[in-house]
Amino acid sequence: MKALHRRSLFRAVLAAVVALTAAATLPAGAQSLAGGRPVTLIVPFSPGGGTDILSRTVAPKLTEKLGTSVIVENRPGAAGAIAAQFVARAAPDGRTLMVGSTSEIGINPSLYPNLPYNVARDFVPVTALASTPMVLVVNPASPIKTAADLVKLAQANPGKLSFASAGVGSGAHLAAELFFYETKIKMTHIPYKGVGPVFADIIGSQKDMILFTSLPSSMSFARAGSLRVVAVSTRERVPLMPDVPTFIESGVPGYLMDYWYGLMAPAGTPADVRNQIHTAAADVLRQPELVEALAKQGLQPTYRTPDEFAAYIKADMDRWAAVVKAADIKPE
């Protein structure tokens, strides 16, 4: 009991020191997040996906750096729009942030004409966090062993093959459409409400279905042998899966895609608050133990200044606008 009391006392003292240090390093008049209400990371998707995995891995480390609790809250639905609208309307004090990604920031604006949020008007980029490749996965019993196999099968059976996604306009959907754009094939889209049910069906009843998904969300199934990873969307092979070829190696030279994640704050959040979060995140993402933990999930820490992150987001939005237009994707 005495040892437990000493550990509790040590943690309390450590938290106080972190809070005082954070406050002492701020310019005069600047606001400090240390010691106040928790910072909430809003995840736009259900638990178990890449955004959720990243958020829950980073949150404890951010708690240590910021000197206040950082908690994760899932607000799934409407392809990320529910969470985005919630954060856009939150107080601009740095206490409510969205773990934004390719889906609701890069893709949604060009897909949905009546979004309840506007990326440029309602948000300010705070910091990039990580990126991950997309992968093509199938049931282990599928005859598709390579991306080239899928192309040949689709060409021989036009309109007869189907692909699943986490919903119309999701990263999984657009990753597939980018593949079809590059290979000039067509498949029938079967949208689900989240990636979890997709995995359940592909592993169970829908053995002929394919799925483009993020590497972190598929890792546990791949390791268990429940799914086969056919190809990865990076330029080079991924160290976690050295036997899995890239799409480029598989005969699709134009297929490159990084699914990115980063923190977005409501517009009007003070610059000093944003800088605190950016600095804390940059420090956290350089910690060897965190880098290793993320790597095991297929996530690569990303370092960008806020201005670089803003420019990257703009380029990503432009890219997906072109894909949506070329594929003539319509929201349901």
One DSSP character per residue, 15-47 reads HHHHHHHHHHTSPTT----TTSSPEEEEESS-T
Pairing of strands 210-214, 162-165: parallel
Residues 103 and 171 in one domain: no
Radius of gyration for the alpha carbons in the chain, expressed in angstroms and rounded: 21
One-character DSSP codes across 128-163? EEEEEEEEEEE-TT-S--SHHHHHHHHHHSTTT-EE
Asked whether residue 184 is domain-assigned, the answer is yes
**Whether residue 76 is found in the same domain as residue 104:** yes
Name the token pair of 94.
Answer: 């740095």
Asked which of 216, 232, 248 is the last residue of a domain, the reply is 232
Taking the C-alpha atoms of residue 51 and residue 68, their distance in angstroms, rounded to an integer, is 22
- Residue 47 pLDDT > 90: no
Checking if the pLDDT of 14 tops 90, the result is: no
**Predicted structure pTM score:** 0.79
- Helices 50-66 and 288-296: angle between axes, nearest 10 degrees: 170
- Is the pLDDT reported for residue 12 higher than 60? no
- 221 lies in some domain: yes
Residues 55 and 71 in one domain: yes
Residue 152 is assigned to a structural domain of this protein = yes
> For residues 309 and 217, which has the higher predicted lDDT (pLDDT)?
309
Instruction: State the total domains in the chain.
Output: 2
Scanning 184-257, the segments in alpha helix (DSSP H) are 195-203, 215-224
105 and 84 within one domain? yes
The tens digit of pLDDT for each residue in 99-143 reads 999 989 999 999 888 999 999 999 999 999 999 999 999 999 999
What is the share, in percent, of the chain residues with pLDDT greater than 70? Answer: 90
Q: Which of 57, 22, 77 is nearest to 297 (CA)?
A: 57
- Give the 3-state secondary structure of residue 7: helix
The set of residues, in sequence order, having a beta carbon less than 8 Å from that of 36 and lying 6+ positions away, is: 68, 95
Angle among Cα 5, 6, 11 to the nearest 5 degrees reads: 100
137 and 172: one domain? yes
Q: Given 197, 232, 267, which residue is the final one in a domain?
A: 232
Q: Is the residue at 13 inside a domain?
A: no
Mean pLDDT, residues 200-208 taken together: 89
Give the mean pLDDT of the chain: 87
Range of the structural domain that residue 178 is part of? 133-232
Give per-residue pLDDT as tens, 181-203: 889 999 999 998 878 899 999 99
Nearest 5°: the CA angle 182, 184, 187 is: 110
The backbone torsions φ and ψ at residue 300, rounded to the nearest 5 degrees and listed phi first, read: -115, 120
214 in a domain, yes or no?
yes
Assess whether pLDDT exceeds 60 at residue 9.
no
The H or E element containing residue 201 is helix 195-203
Residue 191 corresponds to which tokens in the numbers above? 């949208």
Paired residues of 128 in beta bridges = 262
Helix/strand number for the chain, H first, E second: 12, 10
| 315 part of a folded domain | yes
Q: What's the average model confidence in pLDDT over 201-229?
A: 90
Quick one: 202 and 53 in the same domain?
Answer: no
Tokens standing for 230?
């056919």
Among 196, 217, 232, where does a domain finish? Answer: 232
Return the amino acid letter for 304: R
pLDDT in tens, 148-188: 999 999 999 988 899 999 888 788 888 999 999 889 999 99
39 occurs within a structural domain: yes
Q: Are residues 274 and 190 in the same domain?
A: no
The reply to whether 80 and 137 lie within a common domain is no
Are 99 and 173 part of one and the same domain?
A: no
Do 79 and 152 reside in the same domain of the chain?
no
Q: CATH no. for residue 72?
A: 3.40.190.150
Q: Say which residue, 128 or 328, is predicted with more confidence.
A: 128
User: Which domain CATH number covers 148?
Assistant: 3.40.190.10
Do 126 and 194 reside in the same domain of the chain?
A: no
pLDDT digit string, tens, across residues 225-279: 999 999 999 999 998 899 999 999 999 988 999 899 999 999 999 999 999 999 9
